[in-house]
Chain A
Amino acid sequence: MKIRTIAELLDAKVLCGAENIDKEVHSACGCDMMSDVLAFVKEQAVLITGLCNPQVVRTAEMMDMRCIVFVRGKTPPKEVIALAEDAGIVILASNERMYVACGKLYANGLSGGSVVNG
């Protein structure tokens, strides 16, 4: 699925990284606990979260993710957007709640992918 399609499905604004919006992504995870993202993510390229601090971008960068979707109408502060721009990560902002956002993307073919084994 293209990141552009994610933005359309979630009626999301593109806050940065528009130049990468036509990149393909194959799996996603929804999580507010960055420790769990670091523990269990393997190849998921999209992080769907309601948490809005710089560590969200750093976590995504560590895991080589390409896109962060902020849900529940959260708008990240400027420094968070600047970090994502520097890392080449697309930031989307949607008014959907986490459950609905994940459901819409999953129903349209964006899988959960595999996870790291303990």
Chain B
Amino acid sequence: MADCVNFHFDIDGDNFTSAGEASVRIKKLLRQMEFDAEIIRRVSVAMYEGEINMVIHADGGTADVNVYCDRIEIILKDNGPGIPDINLAMQEGYSTAPDNIRSLGFGAGMGLPNMKRYTDGMKIESEVGKGTTIYMTVNA
């Protein structure tokens, strides 16, 4: 395997139906690269939650996945409204998602906590009115 393989995805913000397509592709790619099943699950769930968040809150964005031999980095970037209080947003059960999203099975306030739960490192940079970038790492 090369030192680093990068995958880039544009996340469509208008289409809840297609949300998660990038995560499914990453899951398949990591399987082809023969990573451990539990590592693959943790990467794909964290990325999937991030994708869903970008569609719900930020009108889409981009996802970059850097695959190294010993770790997988996920960088999710959007130009959405930003997160005014990151500590509050990290609390399980806290959600600003609209009711129509809850009727689709999301918006329970578990997205960011799940991303932290499934990764070994997570950093959020957010500016209100400008957007949010989330860096996550899963050690392989």
Q: Give the total of B residues in contact with A, Cβ under 8 Å.
A: 27
Report the Cα distance A87→B110, complex, angstroms.
Answer: 25
**Contacts of B76 on A, CB cut-off 8 Å?**
none
Is the beta-carbon distance between A53 and B17 smaller than 8 angstroms?
Answer: yes
* Number of A-B residue pairs having CB atoms within 8 Å of each other in the complex: 71
Q: Give the total of A residues in contact with B, Cβ under 8 Å.
A: 22
Is the beta-carbon distance between B24 and A61 smaller than 8 angstroms?
Answer: yes
Binds B, one of A15-23, A35-43, A67-75: A35-43
Is the beta-carbon distance between A39 and B19 smaller than 8 angstroms?
Answer: no
**Contacts of B108 on A, CB cut-off 8 Å?**
33, 35-36
Using CB atoms, name the residue of chain A closest to B104: A53
Is the beta-carbon distance between B105 and A63 smaller than 8 angstroms?
Answer: no
Is the beta-carbon distance between A62 and B41 smaller than 8 angstroms?
Answer: yes
Is the beta-carbon distance between B104 and A38 smaller than 8 angstroms?
Answer: no
Beyond the given A38-B49, A56-B105, please list 19 additional residue pairs across the A-B interface where CB-CB is below 8 A: A33-B105, A35-B110, A35-B111, A36-B108, A38-B45, A38-B110, A39-B110, A39-B117, A51-B105, A53-B17, A53-B105, A55-B20, A55-B104, A55-B105, A59-B105, A61-B24, A63-B41, A64-B41, A118-B92
